[in-house]
Amino acid sequence: MTTERFEHIVERVSGVILGKKPQIRLALACLFAGGHLLIEDRPGIGKTTLAKALARCLGLAFQRVQFTSDMLPGDILGVSIFDQNAGSFSFHPGPIFTQVLLVDEINRGMPKTQSALLEAMEEGQVTVEGETRRLIPPFFVIATQNPLEYAGTFPLPESQMDRFLMRINVGYPGRSAEKAILQGGGTQKKLSGIKPCMTKEDVTEIQEKISAVHLSDTFLEYLQNIVHYTRNSPHFHIGLSPRAGIALAMAARSWAYMHGREYAVPEDLKKVLFQVAGHRLRSRNDRMEIQEARLMTLFSEVPVPV
């Protein structure tokens, strides 16, 4: 039942961004797990389109911020402006007061602006001018970024990276998908044609169900094997944090639930492993990120408890 429901969303989104069903599934898993999503790829691949399509499909309020190097925290969080009629300051909420915030090109913003997102992402609240305001759940940040080597970027600090549950790469479309893109009438029209297939309440309900997905002792043992492996293996600079462990558990739960099960199996974890752990790990040798194939080969050594 649930599987079909999710597949339905996947179908819809992939009507806009063609040939990227695996990425769409992962992105959905991330959002239903209640996590923030980082989409990383070269410009023009369709990162923004994917983010927009997802937001529309889920029927959530949507705001978009384009990060630039001159952007200030107030541009996102909102500012108090003196109202001459009322004779007092009144707060003008920024774009963050929404349900899905698309932060485009997040690594073009200054670190100061980037860290303005931290509190919102972690705690679901913002503090402006000494006053704390709650964000109405569900609240997601979908950020896109260009690969680090591109000009004019400020790399996200590790603490910021750790806030994103998943990072996914979109990648070039396949040959036939690209042909269809070329034949089609442009993305904008299709995007505006997407109708939401669930409500805010549906999303909350699904999130609750996902957090109830059972993780057996054997599963947790495997998860711990993975986490300990990254901490003890000579291949990694720093091992996975407990927060990363929680992220792995949540993502696996979400993946399991989306595939119609109320318990997670090691394969669920493996499917989301690179997306959850990839941006949190660095190679010990060159402090660079590890390629997916290499990372999965390393993880395939971790024994699954029988």
Q: Could you list the residues that contact other proteins (CB under 8 A)?
A: 3, 214, 216, 218-219, 222, 259-268, 270-271, 299-304, 306
Q: Is the Cβ of residue 89 or residue 263 nearer to other proteins in the bound state?
A: 263
Provide the minimum distance between the beta carbon of 278 and other proteins in the complex, in angstroms, as a whole number. Answer: 18
Q: Is the Cβ of residue 194 or residue 265 nearer to other proteins in the bound state?
A: 265
Q: Is the Cβ of residue 237 or residue 261 nearer to other proteins in the bound state?
A: 261
Distance between CA atoms of 266 and 251, rounded to whole angstroms?
12
Provide the minimum distance between the beta carbon of 23 and other proteins in the complex, in angstroms, as a whole number. Answer: 17
Sign of CA dihedral 16, 22, 25, 30: negative
Provide the minimum distance between the beta carbon of 208 and other proteins in the complex, in angstroms, as a whole number. Answer: 16
**ω before 138 within 30° of 0 (cis)?**
yes
Provide the minimum distance between the beta carbon of 256 and other proteins in the complex, in angstroms, as a whole number. Answer: 9
Q: Is the Cβ of residue 55 or residue 273 nearer to other proteins in the bound state?
A: 273
Q: Is the Cβ of residue 222 or residue 236 nearer to other proteins in the bound state?
A: 222
Provide the minimum distance between the beta carbon of 266 and other proteins in the complex, in angstroms, as a whole number. Answer: 4
